[in-house]
Structure 1
Amino acid sequence: MDKIYLREADRLEVTVIIDNYTDIFMAQNKDVDIRLSPSEPILAEHGLSCLIKVFSGSEEYLILMDTGMSSKCFFNNINALDIDINKIDSVILSHGHFDHIGGLVELFNQVSNEIPLILHPEAFLNRRLNNPSAGPNEIPNLNEDMLKNAGAKIIKSEGPYILASNLILLTGEVERKTIFEQGFPWAEAKINGEWIVDPFRDDQGIIIKLKDKGLVVISGCAHAGIINTINYSKKITQTEKIHAVLGGFHLTGPLFEQIIIPTIEEMKKINPDYLVPMHCTGWDAINQFKEKMPDNVIINTVGTTYIFE
């Protein structure tokens, strides 16, 4: 693969609009500038949404990743955090699951300008959870027509996609090489008319390269595997140093308990300066990360802004 030209950013701010947890008294980290000052009550739900602001010289770009499970939570927190949605340059979808798409249609209904929505074409698949003891249960899916009618400018990309004047890179489909990261066998997708175990080809991460620091990798759920996502990010940017990893690592629930320790062991080898596990990482895995990587891990709460520079 040819090297992708990813410019170095001078500064990065990541504001967590939606996550599973909220605690306004969360201890702050002495090494990262963290702000937590919502002007109104802020809500948590099973979902994820992050506002990513990247700077280079006088340039500034505002990118939204995902919109949580519900428009109610999304817009409550947007207002509490005093975020102007009309300043968003692009919207990125990490994948097409219901807990990441909830506020999308209403967002595009409310913005006054046309904003690109960048996603993998399989983000529109019909999906279900097929628990062997409970049977299949279809989950809400992303509706392309509703998004277009709301004014979204949809950009479909399977591979790496560069935006924000080469300051932000989407991984596109993530290469799967880690032995223990085998996906989610209860998750199914309807492909070519048949329900099969979901390959999650639409799962993608976001990469920013900070000057003199290394890569910041942001995941939605990391259904492709958080270790796979980090290693693929290193490969396509030809950059070894990982400065920070933030997002959902999908280590919660009985199917994933056995890979928590292998994931932590691999993460210790990668040794990011900062690790912020969120959302579907799960409380058990988050606590184990904190126990085994105490100097790296920051416990997140909704409304936090992480400032890297």
Structure 2
Amino acid sequence: MDNSSDALLPDEGLVRRWGLSGSAGPLPVLPAEFALEKQSFDFLRAEHGFSAMIEVNGRRVLFDTGVTADGLIGNLDRLGIAPDSFEAIVFSHGHFDHVMGLNGLAERVGRANLPVLLHPDFWLRRRIVSPDRTLELPTPSRSAIEGAGFAVVEDRQPSFLLDGMLLVTGEVDRTTPFETGMPPAHQALRDGVWQPDQVVHDDQAVVLHVRDRGLVVLTGCGHSGIVNIVRYAQRLTGVDRIHAILGGLHLRDGAIVPATVEALAAEAPGVLVPAHCTSWKAQQALAAGLPGAFRPNAVGSRFEL
């Protein structure tokens, strides 16, 4: 799941696309009364949310679940991916646009007893306060998730999945001066008091090491700052080379964009796939600053790294 759906994107090297021009999978059909053939093509849904499948040696982990109950499960069906084929679920953080699609998955697979890895701050109530209104964000329910049969695993520290092949970063160290997180309007309820929550401590990423190529870093929103995340992954693994960076970067506008582009260009990743919460301006800056690495994302894109 991602914010963009583009059925006309062609395959491009290591990227296989799903749609009219790609080879990632056949297009399903739906009944269509207004078509002479009484059927039409079905396409993947996009929504303001994120979800990715990680597959290593045939073993699968689900990273985030999107925002709507029918979004993730509907796209799994269209892609021909069995919902019960995942060994674990990792949540990047507790914002609703990465979590609430779990409902549709749970209804389909039943009590699967899947481990769900997350940071303890995942459960915080959060809101956004502006001069004219206060918007309280939907909060993940521990009782509902555990009641559905998922085994919650909380950790602030790094951990491993798939027999050590997949690293979950846990809480990311914040070291750059320009990645300052969310605006003060983003607040969390702590000890009964609403407080600014710029840092979003629960933001975590997953990391793989591809032999002879370097690290693959996958983010949900990148609230920790993508440069912080990359440098933290390097420190955790002892591997300096970056092969690919994929996922939401939470880059909007302002001085943070050129600073991020400069820092990522210095890392020279082979593949850069900004998604979800990366603004059009930031996408353009990243494409200009890292033209050889930049790849646009769309729902159903398969990156074979």
For normalisation by structure 2, the TM-score amounts to 0.89
Task: Give the distance between the partners of 2:15 and 2:201, measured in 1 at CA.
Answer: 34
1:180 paired residue number: 178
Structure 2 residue matching 1:215: 3-state secondary structure: strand
2:228 paired residue number: 228
How far apart are 1:110 and its partner, in Å?
2.4
Asked if 2 retains the 8 angstrom alpha-carbon contact of 1:19 and 1:45, the reply is yes
Task: Give the distance between the partners of 1:207 and 1:75, measured in 2 at CA.
Answer: 25
How far apart are 1:105 and its partner, in Å?
2.8
1:84 paired residue number: 82
Task: Give the distance between the partners of 1:264 and 1:28, measured in 2 at CA.
Answer: 25
Q: Does 1:97 align with 2:80?
A: no
1:207 paired residue number: 207
How far apart are 1:35 and its partner, in Å?
3.7
Letter in 2 for 1:48: F
Task: Give the distance between the partners of 1:245 and 1:286, measured in 2 at CA.
Answer: 13
2:7 paired residue number: 24
2:55 paired residue number: 53
Task: Give the distance between the partners of 1:126 and 1:242, measured in 2 at CA.
Answer: 35
1:237 paired residue number: 237
Task: Give the distance between the partners of 1:260 and 1:139, measured in 2 at CA.
Answer: 26
User: In terms of Rg, which structure is larger?
Assistant: 2
Structure 1 residue matching 2:255: 3-state secondary structure: helix
Letter in 1 for 2:278: T
Asked if 1 retains the 8 angstrom alpha-carbon contact of 2:94 and 2:122, the reply is yes
Asked if 1 retains the 8 angstrom alpha-carbon contact of 2:70 and 2:104, the reply is no
1:300 paired residue number: 297
For normalisation by structure 1, the TM-score amounts to 0.88
1:74 paired residue number: 72
Deviation string, structure 1 residues 213-269 (Cα, Å, up to 9, x no partner): 1100000001010100000000000110000000000012xxx43311111011100
2:260 paired residue number: 263
Deviation string, structure 1 residues 101-156 (Cα, Å, up to 9, x no partner): 1211332232253211110111010011122x333210101000000111111111
Task: Give the distance between the partners of 2:8 and 2:103, measured in 1 at CA.
Answer: 33
Letter in 1 for 2:7: I
Asked if 2 retains the 8 angstrom alpha-carbon contact of 1:109 and 1:151, the reply is no
Task: Give the distance between the partners of 1:130 and 1:270, measured in 2 at CA.
Answer: 36
Letter in 1 for 2:105: L
Deviation string, structure 1 residues 245-301 (Cα, Å, up to 9, x no partner): 00000012xxx4331111101110011000000000112211221122111100111
Task: Give the distance between the partners of 1:258 and 1:247, measured in 2 at CA.
Answer: 21
Structure 1 residue matching 2:93: 3-state secondary structure: coil
Asked if 1 retains the 8 angstrom alpha-carbon contact of 2:227 and 2:263, the reply is yes
Task: Give the distance between the partners of 1:107 and 1:188, measured in 2 at CA.
Answer: 29
Q: Percent identity?
A: 34
Which structure 2 residue ranges, 5 or more long, are not aligned?
Answer: 19-24, 29-41
Task: Give the distance between the partners of 2:269 and 2:228, measured in 1 at CA.
Answer: 15
1:9 paired residue number: none
Letter in 2 for 1:34: R
Letter in 2 for 1:24: A
Q: How many residues align?
A: 282
How far apart are 1:33 and its partner, in Å?
4.2
How far apart are 1:27 and its partner, in Å?
3.9
Letter in 2 for 1:188: Q
Task: Give the distance between the partners of 1:61 and 1:236, measured in 2 at CA.
Answer: 23
Asked if 1 retains the 8 angstrom alpha-carbon contact of 2:158 and 2:167, the reply is yes
Task: Give the distance between the partners of 1:174 and 1:237, measured in 2 at CA.
Answer: 13
Task: Give the distance between the partners of 1:243 and 1:90, measured in 2 at CA.
Answer: 24
Structure 2 residue matching 1:257: 3-state secondary structure: coil
Task: Give the distance between the partners of 1:53 and 1:221, measured in 2 at CA.
Answer: 20
How far apart are 1:28 and its partner, in Å?
3.1
Q: How does 1:162-173 map to 2 (within 5 A)?
A: 162-173=160-171
Task: Give the distance between the partners of 2:177 and 2:201, measured in 1 at CA.
Answer: 17
Task: Give the distance between the partners of 2:70 and 2:103, measured in 1 at CA.
Answer: 12
Q: How does 1:2-17 map to 2 (within 5 A)?
A: none
Asked if 2 retains the 8 angstrom alpha-carbon contact of 1:68 and 1:103, the reply is yes
Letter in 1 for 2:12: N
Moved over 4 A (4+): none
Asked if 2 retains the 8 angstrom alpha-carbon contact of 1:105 and 1:146, the reply is no
